[in-house]
Structure 1
Amino acid sequence: MSRYTDFPEPDGLRVRGTVIVVPGRGETQATYTRLGTRLAADAYRVRVVDAPDVTSVTRLADELTEAVEGADRPLVLIGADSGAAAIAALLSRETSAAPWWPDAVVLAGLPGHTAAAVDWAEELEIRTSCPAHRDVLTNDPAVSRGALHTPLPPDLTAAAYNDTTDLPHLFLIGDEDPLADRTTLTLAVKASPKSRLSVVRGAHHDVLNDRQHRSVAAEIITFLETLGNGLVPLITTESSAW
């Protein structure tokens, strides 16, 4: 049995790149079936790995090294919650010589320094307002309930907010995410010439899987498409009445 969940591109289409998804606290590979399917439909080869052990990001480096073997470029890492923080921490510690080094990263639902002491009903409320995603989390016996109760190690969070790499970054947060430190993240993005912060209206902590998941996937695809165009958007609005 494969250690990963793979979402291959449709038959007959040229592969446009590889996306590795790193889940967050409490999540499993199955949590990202909807996102993986949607990105793969646009001819990206998607692979979902396990959520990282936040006490040892070196293990994530080893996992990524195996996961990206033979990957088509551009290679993009997508992390959610602790997965986003662990990716950022790795980028601050490693160099571009690392075999898993990406061409760009998407960091979603990057948590601040707080945690949520909650029961399952309250955790679901923090995570998402999407009924389908709530069902996925509730019906997956491998999901670790109460995972948001424990804050991330301070050094991991600090590394995430002080990323100095010259890689293109897309940050995604929901404007109703109580775990996000939007002020600090905004300052970090403004200090980085290749970073972009996209705030999703009405979205909660699980911004990749909330009600707005179609628009979020479209934002990611738009970001991926700009990588081969010097980060210049392929479409601009000339004029608009809304």
Structure 2
Amino acid sequence: MTAATERSAVVEWSEPDGVVPRGTLVVLPGRGERAGVYARLGRRVSADGYRVLVLPAPTDDPSQTTERVRAVLADAGSGPHPRVLVGSDTGALFAAGLVAEGLAGVDALVLVGLPGSLPPGPVGWAAELDARTACPVHRDVLDEQVRRGALAEPVPAGWEAAAVPELITVPVLGLHGTADTVASLDAARAWYARLGVAELVSLVGGRHDALNDQSHRTAAATVVLFLERLRAGLPEIAHVELAQARPDPAWAEDHGGFG
């Protein structure tokens, strides 16, 4: 089993006993988020052998976060390569900016709900919850692990300008909900199109917290598949071969769903 431990403001989910670690994820939370927001992701991904380290949100103290990221990447005991910087919301923008500005030791990026220059987000806790997720379990987590009203705060000045796609040379995986009302999917598509080696996965019906929404299993599986391909140095490992088209939603409803 995997369990969370805390050291120097870093919350860690380690690989199970007896499992050789396969890589390390360093997670930067979004506005107002604490480490517990990523407990479900940490448990699931660490069970597959990837160590997960969650740092404080960079909006709390950008300079301190930068120092902590560098310290984790420089510490051989933090976990093996590939070392992947994962960010959600403003954490994604901050992570992209760090790599664009030349941060060493990062093998890849996973960016979730990448925000751009949008007006302030929803006002009121009920509206903020609706914007973040449709998952009832995750909504309960957010009640304890998020500073209310944070999503209405603007993106810090200069963060978007620092995240220049053309300056990012590591592979990038993007996750973005198609129903994200906080960060524009169209703007994200335009940003990812400027990268060198990248793929953007849109989660159908997903809201802003794409890692923890109702499709959180698919999101985690997408991240693990990306990590496995990164380790193997392959563009793909499992190639989908279809002899016929996928059934449409009406067919699925008539036959009791997809299982």
Pairwise same-fold verdict (TM > 0.5): yes
Give the match for residue 83 of structure 1.
91
Taking the aligned partners of 1:48 and 1:163, their CA distance within structure 2 comes to 27
Give the match for residue 172 of structure 2.
169
Give the match for residue 130 of structure 1.
135
Taking the aligned partners of 1:240 and 1:166, their CA distance within structure 2 comes to 37
Taking the aligned partners of 1:81 and 1:168, their CA distance within structure 2 comes to 19
Taking the aligned partners of 2:243 and 2:177, their CA distance within structure 1 comes to 25
Taking the aligned partners of 2:83 and 2:29, their CA distance within structure 1 comes to 17
Aligned-residue RMSD, C-alpha: 1.7
Is structure 2 residue 26 aligned with structure 1 residue 23? no
The alignment of Structure 1 onto Structure 2 pairs a total of residues equal to: 235
**Structure 1 residue 5 displacement after superposition:** 1.3
- Correspondence 1:81-160 to 2 at 5 A: 81-96=89-104, 101-114=105-118, 115-138=120-143, 140=144, 143-160=146-163
More displaced stretch, 33-42 vs 106-115: 106-115
Give the match for residue 222 of structure 2.
219
Opposite residue 113 of structure 1, the aligned amino acid is: S
Give the match for residue 81 of structure 2.
73
Taking the aligned partners of 1:31 and 1:212, their CA distance within structure 2 comes to 15
Opposite residue 70 of structure 2, the aligned amino acid is: T
Q: Does the 8 Å CA contact 2:86/2:109 hold for their aligned counterparts?
A: yes
Distance 1:173 1:161, change over 3 A: farther
**Structure 1 residue 21 displacement after superposition:** 1.0
Q: Does the 8 Å CA contact 2:166/2:194 hold for their aligned counterparts?
A: no
Distance 1:197 1:12, change over 3 A: same
Give the match for residue 251 of structure 2.
none
Is structure 2 residue 15 aligned with structure 1 residue 42? no
Taking the aligned partners of 2:31 and 2:15, their CA distance within structure 1 comes to 28
Runs of 4+ in 1 over 4 A off after TM superposition: none
Taking the aligned partners of 1:156 and 1:163, their CA distance within structure 2 comes to 15
Taking the aligned partners of 1:103 and 1:231, their CA distance within structure 2 comes to 14
Partner secondary structure for residue 192 of structure 1: coil
State the TM-score, normalized to the length of structure 2: 0.85
State the TM-score, normalized to the length of structure 1: 0.91
Which one has the largest radius of gyration?
A: 2
Give the match for residue 232 of structure 2.
229
Q: Does the 8 Å CA contact 2:99/2:106 hold for their aligned counterparts?
A: no
Give the match for residue 210 of structure 2.
207
The higher relative CO (CA closer than 8 Å, separation ≥ 6) is in 1
Give the match for residue 65 of structure 2.
60
Q: Percent identity?
A: 39
Q: Does the 8 Å CA contact 1:57/1:90 hold for their aligned counterparts?
A: no
> Cα deviations across residues 174-231 of structure 1 (Å, max 9, x unaligned)?
0000122222321222232311100001110011110100000000000001112334
More displaced stretch, 21-30 vs 86-95: 86-95
**Structure 1 residue 12 displacement after superposition:** 1.2
Opposite residue 126 of structure 1, the aligned amino acid is: A
Taking the aligned partners of 1:12 and 1:211, their CA distance within structure 2 comes to 31
- Correspondence 1:189-204 to 2 at 5 A: 189-204=192-207
Give the match for residue 190 of structure 2.
187
Q: Does the 8 Å CA contact 1:53/1:59 hold for their aligned counterparts?
A: no
**Structure 1 residue 159 displacement after superposition:** 3.0
**Structure 1 residue 158 displacement after superposition:** 3.0
Structure 1, gaps ≥5 residues long: none
Taking the aligned partners of 1:133 and 1:107, their CA distance within structure 2 comes to 19
